């Protein structure tokens, strides 16, 4: 039996791995928090004692769906004597979101150690992950990408070849720039309607009936109406993505005014303790700004108003 490795069973990783297991992919998995692996065990995956065992038992491909660069390095043993032995003869598939520079350097190190590398970030949040309807972006050597693509069929409704590394991550940054500004604009629209006494459900119906409706608005608008901040894509993760995109824009000498405003709003959202909530919690930052402006107007004296 040819095992496929999967490391990282978080909000996105767990449903992705579950879809692989339910499709009959022989999986060996590991997650830092053991309880997150139990649903995978119940679905037929084998749970390893640690990341080293995942690489030992995987025949070739190991998927990494990890939070950040530090987590990836730790799982791979990068910078330690274990790194080369762990990745040699394996195709490491990096599905998380990191800087493009990090990904390029990681590819170089894995190649030197005798492994292959594929970038495979995905577009979509928890619900599409559960439904197996993510959109995959692939970059790397053609033979490695060709070997990985069919394995993603239970996870992604479609995959796109984005050329050489870091093409897939840069494509994801482009997609996420649109997503972040779109959801922030949607939240501001609902805040505007709310403060004018409009029926927010009616606003949702009007949007759904018109040309601006999308699968994103149809998922996020009801959450704004009911103030449902249960996480699909956490505000903390959105802030991280926003930062990475902004850094990439600065390095390329690009202006990103809309993204920069969103960056500030998500920083305020996280600073107010809402980082673990869904990205629509940016509404809380908008409300705080409105309340702050109202308080400022209240404190203004008649003399200050020129009266």
pLDDT of residue 299: 76
183's CB contacts (< 8 A; 6+ apart) are 216, 220, 279, 280, 282
pLDDT digits (tens, 9 = 90+) for 67-123: 999 999 999 999 999 999 999 999 999 999 999 999 999 999 999 999 999 999 999
Q: What's the token pair of residue 280?
A: 């629509």
Residue 166: asked if its preceding bond is cis (omega within 30°), the reply is yes
Q: What percent of the chain has pLDDT over 90?
A: 94
What are the 10-residue block averages of pLDDT along the chain, 307 residues in total?
A: 94 97 97 96 97 97 97 97 96 97 98 98 94 98 96 98 98 98 98 98 97 96 98 95 97 97 98 98 98 84 52
How many CB atoms are closer than 10 A to CB 137? 24
Alpha carbon distances (Å) from 248 to 26, 97, 139, 219, 243: 37, 13, 18, 29, 9
pLDDT of residue 159: 98
Record the pTM. 0.92
């Amino acid at each position: 039996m040819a095992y496929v490795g999967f490391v990282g069973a978080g909000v996105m990783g767990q449903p992705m791995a579950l879809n692989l297991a339910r499709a009959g992919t022989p999986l060996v998995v590991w997650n830092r928090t053991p309880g997150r692996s139990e649903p995978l065990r119940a679905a037929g995956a084998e749970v390893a004692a640690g990341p080293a065992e995942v690489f030992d038992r995987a025949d070739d491909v190991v998927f990494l769906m990890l939070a950040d660069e530090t987590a990836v390095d730790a799982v791979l043993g990068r910078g330690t004597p274990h790194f080369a032995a762990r990745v040699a003869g394996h195709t490491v598939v990096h599905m998380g979101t990191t800087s493009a520079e990090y990904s390029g350097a990681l590819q170089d190190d894995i190649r030197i150690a005798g492994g292959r590398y594929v970038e495979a970030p995905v577009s979509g949040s928890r619900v599409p992950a559960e439904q197996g309807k993510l959109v995959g972006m692939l970059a790397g050597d053609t033979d490695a990408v060709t070997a990985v693509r069919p394995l993603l069929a239970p996870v992604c409704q479609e995959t796109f070849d984005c050329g050489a590394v870091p093409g897939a991550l840069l494509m994801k940054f482009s997609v996420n720039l649109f997503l972040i500004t779109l959801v922030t604009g949607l939240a501001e629209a609902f805040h505007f309607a709310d403060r004018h006494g409009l029926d927010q459900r009616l606003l949702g119906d009007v949007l759904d009936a018109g040309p601006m409706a999308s699968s994103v608005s149809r998922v996020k608008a009801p959450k704004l109406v009911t103030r449902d901040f249960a996480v699909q894509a956490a505000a903390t993760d959105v802030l991280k993505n926003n930062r990475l995109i902004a850094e990439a824009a600065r390095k390329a000498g690009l202006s990103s005014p809309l993204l920069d405003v969103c960056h500030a709003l998500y920083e305020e959202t996280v600073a107010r303790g809402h980082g673990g909530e869904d990205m629509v919690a940016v509404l809380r930052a908008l409300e705080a700004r409105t309340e702050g402006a109202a308080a400022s107007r209240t404190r203004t004296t008649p003399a200050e108003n020129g009266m």
